[in-house]
Structures are given as structure tokens and as C-alpha cells.
Amino acid sequence: MQMPSSSFDSISTCITFEELFGKRATIESFRKFLSQFQREKVVLATCIVNAFLDSWTGSIDADGHDALVQGAFLPEDAQKLLQACKSSTPSRYVFHRQQVLLIAKEATLHCKDEGVDPLQTPHWAGLGLAFLMASDLMDTVASDSRKNAPENFLKLLGDSILVGEFSGRYFLGNRVARSYLMLIRFFPTVAKDQLDIPKAFRKITGFDLQTFMAVCIAILTFYLTHTFAKLRTSPGVLLNDEFWSKVQLDKATLDNCLNELAGTLDQIRAKFLERDKGLFDMTGFRTYPLVRHSTGGTYAPDLQLLSQKLESGVFWKVHDSLSNKDLIHQLWGQTFEKYVNWLIVEMVDDKINKFIPSPRFKKTGDQVCDGIIVCGHRIIFLEYKGRTFRADAKYSGDFEILRKEIHTHLVGTAEKPKGVYQLGTSKNSNMFR
């Protein structure tokens, strides 16, 4: 398992249960160990871990990480782990986001409402070991992908997709900005009178899309201010009545927004049982990125999943309400093209390169490709794909499904060209001869 460290030019690895104890954890041993703990307290602990790590800012707070190691393990084990973390270049880590999410999911599914409370027990009653065990499980689907046979390339690619999705460097501010640009700025220029997402969203939920976005941003802001230094003196991670009193919305609208965002652990568990395509399919927390605490208030185990509700959450909410679902997929792809072209226009220096967005042939008016960059005597053809991949292609470990998804959406055929075929068609066109 690899993950980005605090710098862009280095890759760090995690420490596993097998490395510390000489025996690899299995999914059965992991679940048996985890099930002794109280469900709500374990999921709340994952929120605290993410807050200490500050992982939702795109890097790991080293001080927060080391404090967690010292608090969640017996002193002898903590010393060994910290030594292993510091003795390598680049540094290694015990805690990280993909592992934390797996703990939250498995606790929701397999822990009970009664059990050991790790937050009220010294050294978390050994709960730290579950995090090491979770790291053992993260490459099980790709355990044979290190062979040199070409047919195993897809298995390595599938493993890399998980690493990129869960441990890649994402900046919440960029995701928020992209959500606004895609939904509010660019989609209406593409859809025109075919589909109005804000109108459809309001019809489904009873409140405005921009109100929903404002509530999500308020929650994100709350957690982004919870640095490790602040949490040492004020460890609260619950969104309580005091927080919501500062949000200037009437109670009915606020309740409707929270119903869209927050679920009890039983509701989240039901979502996982309804659809679970693999160990790292986080459908339950994607549906309800806020968890309702039994004593009142809510909390966010993972801010990246909360930020996704601003874009993909809205997309799927509207998508599921439409009779013609192909329409929103088509319009979303065109919107993504506009968004990427806008980004490139903002970045390209015309003195060095010339960028042509959505170029078309003069004779036929057909689109050549999504974009062209001309640099001196060289030309680069660009195709963008804002396509959604099926959950089983990403999470099930069945790499034949992944291969078919890649071929269908990124390669295509001569009859139905996508990505690669589209570029090949443009490059080989008589228009360029």
C-alpha cells in the first residue's frame, strides 16, 4: 500500500500487523478482533483519527500521527512503531485514510452496541492493533499482481486505483470549487432547456442546491479548523446545537439538509448490506457522510466523502429521479469537457503553446477531439472522460470487469469510438493529410 507523504516527490508506505508480529491478519481474524469493541465508539474514533492526522488537507500531520501511536498502543509497541516510522526515508506511517475508512465500515457492519469502549480505556484497549490488521488486508485482491506476466497488469492497475482514490492527494477547496463550476456555471450552458439540475434537486429534496452546498461547506470549514494543536485542548468533533445555531437557516430546511447528509449507524449499515461490491466499497458512508450520534449531534468520519456529496452526490440524486438516465450522463460528459478546457485555457501560456478547445473540422463541422495543444511543430490531441466506473469494477477484485469497463468507456470500437479510438480516428483523418 502506497500513499503520498507531505511532499509531492516521495511515496510512503504503511506499517502492517504482519511486520510487527510476524503473522499476517486475515479478514476473519480482523473481524473477530474488531467485534469486541463498541460500534459507535469505534466509528467516532475513526473521526478523531482523521482529525488528528489532518488527512483531509492532503497530507499527514506528523505530530498528530505520533500522538495517536502513543495513545492507541501499549508503550512497548508504540516505541517499535515510532522507530520504524522514523528510521526510513521517506517516513512511514501507522495510520492513514484508506485503513481508517475500512475500520469505520467494518465496525458499522460487525461491531455491536455493547462492547469495550476504546475511548475510555487506556491505550484504546488495544484498538490500535485493528488498524495494523486493516493494513494487512489492503493488498489481498492484488496479492499475485507482482508477477511479471502481462496479464497481471490489470490487477496492479486495480490496486493502484484504490490507492489513488483513498490515499491520493486531494484538496477539499479544489473539490468544492469544481462542484460549483460543474453544477452551477458549466452544466446550464451545456444542458440549456434539456435539464435543470438545481430545479430538479429542489423538486426532489425540497430545498435549494446552493443552500445544500452552503451547509456542506460550513461543515467542511468546521473540521478544517480542527488542527492537531486545537484538538489537544478541545477534542470535540461533534456538530452540536451550538454549531447549528450559527447556521442561518430555518429549522425545517436545516432538518431536510441533515436528512440528506446524516444517518444513524443502523441506516448506514443497511446501505452497506443493500449494496456492497467489495471490501473498499464505501457506499454507506457516501450516502450518509455524517453519522448521527446516539446522544445527539452528528460527526463526519471522513471529509472527502462529505465533499463528494457536493458533486457526485447531487449528480446521483438527480440521476436516480430521471426516466431518461442516459441524458444526464451525456450532458455531464459535455460539461466535464467544458470544465477541463476552461482549466487548460487558464493555465496555458500563449507565448509557448497554443490551445484549441473543442476543435472542429472546417468541411464537416464534426468535432476533432476535446482539445488540441500546438507546441512548435508538434501537436497533441486530447480526449477527456468524465465517466463513472461501476463499483464492482473498482472494488470487487474481479479485474475482468475492470478490463471491460476500461475498454467500453476509454477505448471503444470502430463502430462506437471512445477515447483511444476517437483520437485514432482524428489523427488518421484525411483532413490532416
Residues 91 and 186 grouped into a single domain: no
Q: For 85-136, how does the pLDDT look when each residue is reduced to its tens digit (9 = 90+)?
A: 888 777 788 998 889 999 999 999 999 999 999 989 999 999 999 999 999 9
Smallest CA-to-CA distance from 373 within 390, 401, 350 is with 350
Q: Are strands 371-375 and 262-263 parallel, antiparallel or unpaired?
A: unpaired
Smallest CA-to-CA distance from 317 within 328, 305, 330, 306 is with 328
Residues 222 and 181 grouped into a single domain: yes
Residue that has been written with the C-alpha cell 502506497 in this structure? 2
Residues 64 and 20 grouped into a single domain: yes
Residues 248 and 314 grouped into a single domain: yes
Residue 400 has pLDDT above 80, yes or no: no
Q: For 320-334, how does the pLDDT look when each residue is reduced to its tens digit (9 = 90+)?
A: 999 999 999 999 999
Residues 147 and 63 grouped into a single domain: yes
pTM for the model: 0.83
**Region 27-34 average pLDDT:** 96
Domain with 362 in it: 348-432
Least confident of 213-222, 261-270, 303-312, 387-396: 387-396
Residues 364 and 294 grouped into a single domain: no
pLDDT at 293: 92
- 294 falls within a domain: yes
Residues 278 and 188 grouped into a single domain: yes
Residue finishing a domain among 99, 128, 155: 155
**Region 16-34 average pLDDT:** 94
Residue finishing a domain among 128, 155, 182: 155
pLDDT at 267: 97
Least confident of 7-16, 181-190, 365-374: 7-16
pLDDT at 141: 46
- 109 falls within a domain: yes
Q: Which residues contact 187 (CB under 8 A, 6 or more apart)?
A: 197, 331, 332, 335
Which pLDDT band, with edges at 50, 70 and 90, does 25 fall under? very high
Least confident of 16-20, 25-29, 191-195, 223-227: 223-227
Please report, to the nearest 10 degrees, the dihedral formed by the alpha carbons of residues 55, 140, 107, 320 taken in order: 80
Residues 257 and 315 grouped into a single domain: yes
pLDDT at 180: 93
| Number of folded domains that form the chain | 3
- 328 falls within a domain: no
Residues 8 and 115 grouped into a single domain: yes
pLDDT at 62: 83
Between residues 114 and 246, the one the model is more confident about: 114
Q: Which residues contact 75 (CB under 8 A, 6 or more apart)?
A: none
Residue 242 has pLDDT above 50, yes or no: yes
Bond into 90 cis (ω within 30): yes
Between residues 231 and 96, the one the model is more confident about: 96
**DSSP code per residue over 162-187:** HHHHHHS---HHHHHHHHHIIIIIIH
- 47 falls within a domain: yes
- 37 falls within a domain: yes
Which pLDDT band, with edges at 50, 70 and 90, does 277 fall under? confident
Residues 41 and 117 grouped into a single domain: yes
- 288 falls within a domain: yes
Residues 150 and 25 grouped into a single domain: yes
Residue finishing a domain among 155, 184, 210: 155
pLDDT at 4: 39
pLDDT at 74: 92
Question: Which range has highest mean pLDDT (166-180, 216-230, 368-382, 408-422)?
Answer: 368-382
**Average pLDDT of every residue of the chain:** 84
Which pLDDT band, with edges at 50, 70 and 90, does 1 fall under? very low
pLDDT at 317: 94
Smallest CA-to-CA distance from 334 within 164, 194, 209, 165 is with 194
Residues 148 and 197 grouped into a single domain: no
- 165 falls within a domain: no
- 342 falls within a domain: no
Least confident of 33-37, 246-250, 312-316, 399-403: 399-403
